[in-house]
Amino acid sequence: MQGGTGLLLVLLLAIVLIVVLIVKVRVHAFLALMAACFVVGIGSGMPLTSIAASFENGVGGTLGFLAAIIGLGSILGKMLEESGGAERIAKTLLQTLGKDRASWAMMLVGFIAGIPVFFEVGFVLLIPLIYVVAKETRLNMLYLGVPLAISLMVVHCMLPPHPAAMAITGMLGADVGKVIMYGLIVGLPTAIIAGPVWINLVCKREAPSTQQAFLEERCDSSERKDLPGFGITLFTILLPLLLMVGKTVATMGLTQGTTSYEVVAFLGNPLPALAIAVMFAYWSLGLRRGLKMADLLVLTDKCFPPLASILLIIGAGGAFNGILIDSGVGKVLAGTLAQLDMNPIVLAWLIAGLMHFAVGSATVAMISAAGMVLPMLGDNSGYSREIIVIAIGAGAIGWTHVTDSAFWVVKEYLGVSLSDALKKFTGGTVLASVVALGLTLLLSRVI
């Protein structure tokens, strides 16, 4: 199909195909994205051999950068989980802030502990603590669980080294250290407003009458006694971020080509930074607490099987981006979007939000949005690519509803009705998305 209008119709057909295959036919996102690649390639008139080559290059170019980083991040998350580090952070913050500020404590727990772990892992990992606190204080579990879930979602969408955030950082050619800094600047206020502030407005603190029976069935009163220290756990989690942000800050004052510049640039590269963090975690959360190397090998082996799905989705997303560029659809799309006279930050946010609403996957939404926005950035060099990454993440936070597995994890573990989950949790994600957009726009004016 030739011509600008025809190419845009091909792209629209591909997007509709992704939504239908994932939501209605229940096809895995990797296969849905793969089918969309072929639709765009064939529909735009690409030679069949070029379609295959473009797909291969897109997958390889994306995963060549990300596969090792995602693997190392998974090991770091597993060490935090198995050592009890997340529980230590949660208990320390609860003791420090007090039960009266439990919603604030759970928001901070999610924001810190969520850095190295996926959303679902972090929520399931910390839900026993919510049960214990809710049982002891008779606080509504929504009052505790929604701030935790919102902060986990914010970190999941906006902060590398999370896979989708890391993937679009690479796709858009953004500086990972700046993305982390901007993600923290935007993400923490967003988690506060859409977490404890929001839940205090829409939810009663007191537990409903049905909650006690729910907790009696699920609450385990036994406590782990051998938790790691708070300080060393926090340092272990933040170490890769400190190295990556440190590189961005330090290289501003160093001369390129000098030994000091090369050393700092190397240590702050995501791959060495995460490798150093994993080695430190092996010691701080493992060896110093009595584990043997054989135990660490077992833990490491547990990390990799769950990564297959996320790697395939990100790889197919990279291929979709490559097909858009090689087919010429991206160039036509860039020209069309430029004619809309819409702020690229708002546009990136809107595309990611609509895709998340439709397909129910923040990862797919972010990868797809990056592929559609990327061709336009060449004509808008005045816009920071790091800010566009944050805008895409902000859009993907919103509309976490019935099409998203994260929604059902929150609903079922908190034991609430569908309407309550939609009002409190989904409503919170929409608020978080809007707040994050506003903060991103403000940030773009001062950098």
What digits encode the pLDDT tens for the residues 395-417?
Answer: 999 989 877 889 989 998 898 88
Given this model, what pLDDT does residue 147 score? 96
pLDDT above 90: residue 328? no
Portion of the chain with pLDDT greater than 90, in percent = 49
Work out the average pLDDT over 149-153.
Answer: 96
Give the pLDDT band of residue 98 (cuts 50, 70, 90).
confident
Q: What is the mean pLDDT of residues 363-377?
A: 86
Looking at residue 118, its pLDDT comes to: 83
Average pLDDT in the 306-315 region? 87
Q: How far apart are the first and last CA of the chain?
A: 42
DSSP secondary structure of 281-293: HHHHTTGGGT--H
**H-assigned helices in 44-101:** 48-83, 85-97
Q: What per-residue confidence (pLDDT) applies to 220?
A: 61
Residue 1 has pLDDT above 60, yes or no: no
Evaluate if residue 266 carries a pLDDT over 90: yes
- Could you give the CA distance from residue 194 to residue 370 in angstroms, rounded to a whole number? 25
Return mean pLDDT, the chain: 89
Answering whether pTM is above 0.85, one says yes
186: pLDDT strictly greater than 80: yes
List, for residues 199-226, the tens digit of each pLDDT value: 999 998 888 888 888 888 776 655 666 8
Q: Enter the DSSP assignment of 257.
A: T
Q: What's residue 39's pLDDT?
A: 93
Rg (CA), the chain: 22
3-state secondary structure of 206: strand
| % residues pLDDT > 70 (the chain) | 97
Q: Quote the pLDDT of residue 393.
A: 97
Return the DSSP state at 380: -
Amino acid (one-letter) located at 162: H
Mean pLDDT of 286-303: 93
Which tops the pLDDT comparison, 108 or 401?
108
Cα–Cα dist 90/110, whole Å: 9
Contact between residue 330 and residue 360 where contact means Cβ atoms under 8 Å apart: no
Average pLDDT of span 283-303: 93
Higher pLDDT, 226 or 167: 167
pLDDT at residue 309, rounded to an integer:
87
Of 77-81, 208-212, 232-236, the range with the highest mean pLDDT is 232-236
Helices (H), 379-426: 385-397, 405-414, 418-420
Query: Does the pLDDT value for residue 26 go beyond 80?
Result: yes
Residue 359 or 74, more confident: 74
pLDDT band for position 342 (50/70/90)? confident
Is the per-residue pLDDT at 338 higher than 70?
Answer: no
- Name the residue type at position 69: I
Residue 54: per-residue pLDDT: 93
pLDDT at 252 over 90: no
Rounded to whole angstroms, how far apart are CA atoms 274 and 314? 19
The residue type at 50 = S
What mean pLDDT do residues 313-340 have?
82
> Which DSSP symbol is given to 194?
I
Give dist(CA 170, CA 167) in Å, integer: 5
Q: How far apart (Å, rounded) are the C-alpha atoms in residues 96 and 418?
A: 33
The Cα 74–Cα 81 span in angstroms is 10
